[in-house]
Structure 1
Amino acid sequence: MKFPLLMVLFFTTLFSSGEACGKKKKEIITWRCSNDQGKTNYYKTDECCERIKGELDKDGQNCNEELKGMTGKPKREISKKRRERILEAMECCNPPGTEKKTTKAEIITKILQPRVLRPRMFLLNKAYFPVCFITATPGIEPRIFRSTLGRLAIGPRNLHFTPHDRKIDSTAPRMATRPISAEPSEGFTLLMASNQNPVRIAMRDKHYNERSEIQNAAMKAGLDLIPSFSDRDNLVVVDYGTAQGANSIEPVKKAISTLPDGAIASLVFEDTPFNDFGTLAKTVSDNFTNHGSKIQIVPSLVPLGFYQQVVPTGQADLGFSWSSFNYLENVPSVSLDATASPAEFAVARHKALAAAAHTDLIKLLKLRAKETRSGGYFIAAIGGQAPEGESTPSKPGSQVLQAGLMRMVGEGKLALHELMQMALFPSHERTPKEVEAALEDGAVAPLWEEESLEPKLIVQPAWYVYQDKIKVSESKKDEALREYAQVAISNVVSASGWFWVDVLKKSRGQDWDGGEAFLEEFVNITVEEFVTKFADFKLEIWYNYIKLKRTDKKA
């Protein structure tokens, strides 16, 4: 569960001009993001289409077979040129008057002229949206994935978008002119809604310990908050959202190092049932043995989420949470306006989730208060936003991640509806004022004495390694940059890969076993995008560090 920040990942799809087949205006073409399931009504009627159909027949494929290949196979199996020809061939499959009715809920976009459709996406200030109707794929549950190259993603059940002017250039292939709404209006507003569903959190098995550099740096920046327990002969330490354990060892060791000889330390490592407890158990075993120790150590692993009570009331002396408490308990329902500027949209998104985030943080602080004895401590590093008046924002690398995913969509290796489902993970990166507001809430303030609340900007450690290498030898810059990019992108995959594979399995079938290959290809593609387009990108994230002391008020 270690992960600093998440960026929302939705995409805005535009369409570039250009006739697919001649210059005459043709009948309306209906295009879907998901499998057609026999309700196809792609057609057009001039001689040009017959020539296309003939070309396909020469390849030993008739029009219906090509249509089946397009709608029944992952796009990654079909070349770019082939997809264009198939799309044109689809329009020949039904003569005029035989088209089947399509309900409005199934329509993704309607175009008045036939086009060759290619993905085109651009950044909306850390958020991306498709200009089309999107229907959520059944069975995909809203969940969280964590990555240094992502922030908040909230899941759309229904999306309606208003086309607007491009804000920045895109690296993706140009698509046709913007689509018209299925409604008789020139624009339509974005409605983004989602049912209240609990989220699940888990790190990618076996990989997170090896690739969690920025989370480790965030933990180290909070070590000075740990108090001494030299007057205690029994200590209970709880680490919330421990993941595979690599970033829990150092703070726990520092806490128990202050105990006198002969003391007993009970160590509780908590994470959701979806966590890789096998790797966690090995990490704990490797680091906490009683051989030669003057302190008796009793470790425990608890498979419970931190939105419920983890240890008995009043048992904890010290609690930690590193890069975990920015995740929301449920997927919230929100409504946002896609016609807003990128800056306005980011503000609207933050405001839309603020209420749920405020409620969730209050719940977390009350639960921790119930578990912590009077005089005990709770210390946390919560992924956040820059404090008021600070000119340097959090830069978790969303544009780099965007470039890689855009390229995969453009190459047919990732479907748009799969990409949208990957975005179903709720998180809220709080400002220091939002953290303070939760601490001052009437239900929380009597329970905790606030000893410290401080924002700190944490830089990806690999950035410093990169800078040191190019200072020594400018000739090694390319090699050093690639190493930096590899670390950064591997971090996102170790934190987020499990979620992406989960989404792809739901889309492609539970027997699909291409997850590891997909993640490896994503790393390779995104590293290439990084080194060619983002050579000067410095990955850095703001964290809110809190140190709270438990009062004697009953929780």
Structure 2
Amino acid sequence: MSGDGPSSAAAMQGGGFYNRNSALQAANLGSALPLLIEAARDIPADEAMIGIADYGASQGRNSMVPVASAIDALRPRIGPDRPIVVSHIDLPSNDFTSLFTVLDADPASYLAGRANVYPVAIGRSHFGQVLPGGSVDLGWSSNALHWMSRNPCPVPDHGWGVFSADAAVRDAIDAQLDADWTNFLQARAREMRAGGRLICQFMGRGPESHGFEWMANAFWQSWVDAADAGLMTHAELGRIAAPSAGRSVAQIEAPFRDGRSGRLRLVDLAVVQAPDPYWAAFEQSGDAAQLGRVWADMMRAANGPSFAAALDAGRDRDAVLDAVTRRLAARIAADPQQNRSFNVIMMIEAVD
């Protein structure tokens, strides 16, 4: 990876590690489930086959409850025999093996006890069209749309450009967020049937602060500590940047206001404080070491691949990730805090 150019997004850590360490993401998506169930009850659903699209599926565990809920809301309307095709979309590097293992063997699989449901996987970026035009009745995306298609510029002073002290870096991040959001919406406008609904949940930006500062700073400082300890060079550290950031309400609404969303209409939008299931468990147990471990493993699962992609070829990335994870766990245990971040919850409709 060059320090001069943008870097692409990386998939979550594979081998089922993300599935095992994504309780925070599972808690986040719960706030959008009522909208998904409402949408499943309201869409026209008059085609011979129903298409459900799961944009940003990752390793699948956090798709099981939402897709099952949508199917169960649809079945009373469409009957038991109508086929439902569920398309799981993520990057080509995604661990689709873990997704299909969950579908096949996990008791929570939406296939369990549900007939005429056909899952497929698509290894492509959802910032372009990935499904045939007019084939999606119901779309779902959770914990995915704060990830950008790429980093637009180097970020030498932080692991996230949105937290850089350089205003030009922050402006470049906002421009990339806008371009990606427009591309995502225009692709969905082509894919969705008239009357179809798309439910999205992702990290947003608060009215007074971005949110997630505590954990982002703790993770970045753990990488700085590892570089200071000689586990990587400071040149490698300077190339690290996770391509993710929250959007404000104004940034989310902009394409709908100026016509860039095509035939998509914004039905519902809310930005709420995100849950912190790790802190709730800590309040019960008082176990700061456990709080550190679960946060560190989650951050490694979600952000470790993007950070580690900046390391030199030949560098033992697992060893670096192990060291950073230990440092982060210790840092959190020494100063336990409740995470403060924001969730976007929204419903979009395709119109004629």
Shift of 1:457: 1.1
Shift of 1:461: 0.7
2:145 aligned with 1:325? yes
Match in the other structure for 2:61: 246
Shift of 1:288: 4.5
Shift of 1:211: 0.5
Match in the other structure for 1:438: 255
Letter in 1 for 2:245: H
- Does the C-alpha gap of structure 1 residues 350 and 391 become closer, same or farther in structure 2, counting only changes over 3 Å? closer
Match in the other structure for 2:238: 420
Shift of 1:441: 2.3
Letter in 2 for 1:487: V
Partner secondary structure for residue 20 of structure 2: coil
What CA distance in whole angstroms lies between the structure 1 residues aligned with 2:209 and 2:174?
A: 22
Partner secondary structure for residue 244 of structure 1: coil
2:115 aligned with 1:308? no
Partner of residue 282 from structure 2, selected from 446, 466, 470 = 466
Partner secondary structure for residue 258 of structure 2: coil
Matches within 5 A, 1:33-112: none
Match in the other structure for 2:70: 255
2:13 aligned with 1:208? no
Matches within 5 A, 1:258-273: 258=73, 259-260=75-76, 261-273=80-92
- Does the C-alpha gap of structure 1 residues 315 and 213 become closer, same or farther in structure 2, counting only changes over 3 Å? same
Match in the other structure for 2:192: 372
What CA distance in whole angstroms lies between the structure 2 residues aligned with 1:419 and 1:457?
A: 31
Partner of residue 541 from structure 1, selected from 336, 341, 349 = 341
Instruction: Give structure 1 stretches of 5+ with no counterpart.
Output: 1-139, 142-155, 158-193, 470-476
- Asked whether the 8 Å contact 2:224–2:237 carries over to 1, the reply is no
- Does the C-alpha gap of structure 1 residues 503 and 235 become closer, same or farther in structure 2, counting only changes over 3 Å? same
2:286 aligned with 1:486? no
Letter in 1 for 2:148: L
Letter in 2 for 1:360: D
What CA distance in whole angstroms lies between the structure 1 residues aligned with 2:110 and 2:33?
A: 22
What CA distance in whole angstroms lies between the structure 2 residues aligned with 1:324 and 1:292?
A: 28
What CA distance in whole angstroms lies between the structure 1 residues aligned with 2:104 and 2:216?
A: 36
2:331 aligned with 1:529? yes
Letter in 2 for 1:433: A
Shift of 1:354: 2.1
Match in the other structure for 1:400: 218
What CA distance in whole angstroms lies between the structure 2 residues aligned with 1:316 and 1:252?
A: 14
What CA distance in whole angstroms lies between the structure 2 residues aligned with 1:515 and 1:345?
A: 28
Matches within 5 A, 1:148-187: 157=4
Shift of 1:322: 1.1
Match in the other structure for 2:205: 385
- Does the C-alpha gap of structure 1 residues 397 and 200 become closer, same or farther in structure 2, counting only changes over 3 Å? closer
Partner secondary structure for residue 310 of structure 1: coil
- Does the C-alpha gap of structure 1 residues 427 and 467 become closer, same or farther in structure 2, counting only changes over 3 Å? same
Letter in 2 for 1:397: M
Letter in 1 for 2:343: Y
Instruction: Give structure 2 stretches of 5+ with no counterpart.
Output: none
- Asked whether the 8 Å contact 2:9–2:243 carries over to 1, the reply is no
Partner of residue 302 from structure 2, selected from 492, 495, 501 = 495
- Asked whether the 8 Å contact 1:265–1:298 carries over to 2, the reply is yes
Structure 1 or 2, whichever has the larger Rg, is 1
Shift of 1:225: 0.7
- Asked whether the 8 Å contact 2:21–2:301 carries over to 1, the reply is yes
Partner secondary structure for residue 257 of structure 1: helix
- Asked whether the 8 Å contact 2:194–2:351 carries over to 1, the reply is yes
1:348-370 CA deviation, whole Å, 9 max, x = no partner?
54333323321221111010011
- Does the C-alpha gap of structure 1 residues 381 and 396 become closer, same or farther in structure 2, counting only changes over 3 Å? farther
Match in the other structure for 1:452: 268
TM-score (norm 2): 0.86
- Asked whether the 8 Å contact 1:380–1:545 carries over to 2, the reply is yes
- Does the C-alpha gap of structure 1 residues 305 and 393 become closer, same or farther in structure 2, counting only changes over 3 Å? closer
- Does the C-alpha gap of structure 1 residues 234 and 345 become closer, same or farther in structure 2, counting only changes over 3 Å? same
What CA distance in whole angstroms lies between the structure 1 residues aligned with 2:62 and 2:226?
A: 32
Shift of 1:450: 1.6
What CA distance in whole angstroms lies between the structure 2 residues aligned with 1:403 and 1:426?
A: 17
- Does the C-alpha gap of structure 1 residues 377 and 346 become closer, same or farther in structure 2, counting only changes over 3 Å? farther
1:505-529 CA deviation, whole Å, 9 max, x = no partner?
xx152xx5x3333322222222122
Letter in 2 for 1:440: R
- Asked whether the 8 Å contact 1:382–1:544 carries over to 2, the reply is yes
- Asked whether the 8 Å contact 2:67–2:110 carries over to 1, the reply is no
2:52 aligned with 1:237? yes
User: Is the helix fraction higher in 1 or 2?
Assistant: 2
Shift of 1:503: 3.2
Letter in 2 for 1:435: I
Letter in 1 for 2:228: G
2:1 aligned with 1:222? no
- Does the C-alpha gap of structure 1 residues 328 and 422 become closer, same or farther in structure 2, counting only changes over 3 Å? same
- Does the C-alpha gap of structure 1 residues 358 and 291 become closer, same or farther in structure 2, counting only changes over 3 Å? closer
Q: How many residues align?
A: 337
Shift of 1:396: 5.2
1:274-327 CA deviation, whole Å, 9 max, x = no partner?
11111111122235576643x311110111111221110000001111122223
1:401-457 CA deviation, whole Å, 9 max, x = no partner?
13322321222122111212222x43332111110112212232x512221010011
Letter in 2 for 1:210: R
CA-atom RMSD, angstroms? 2.8
- Asked whether the 8 Å contact 2:139–2:199 carries over to 1, the reply is yes
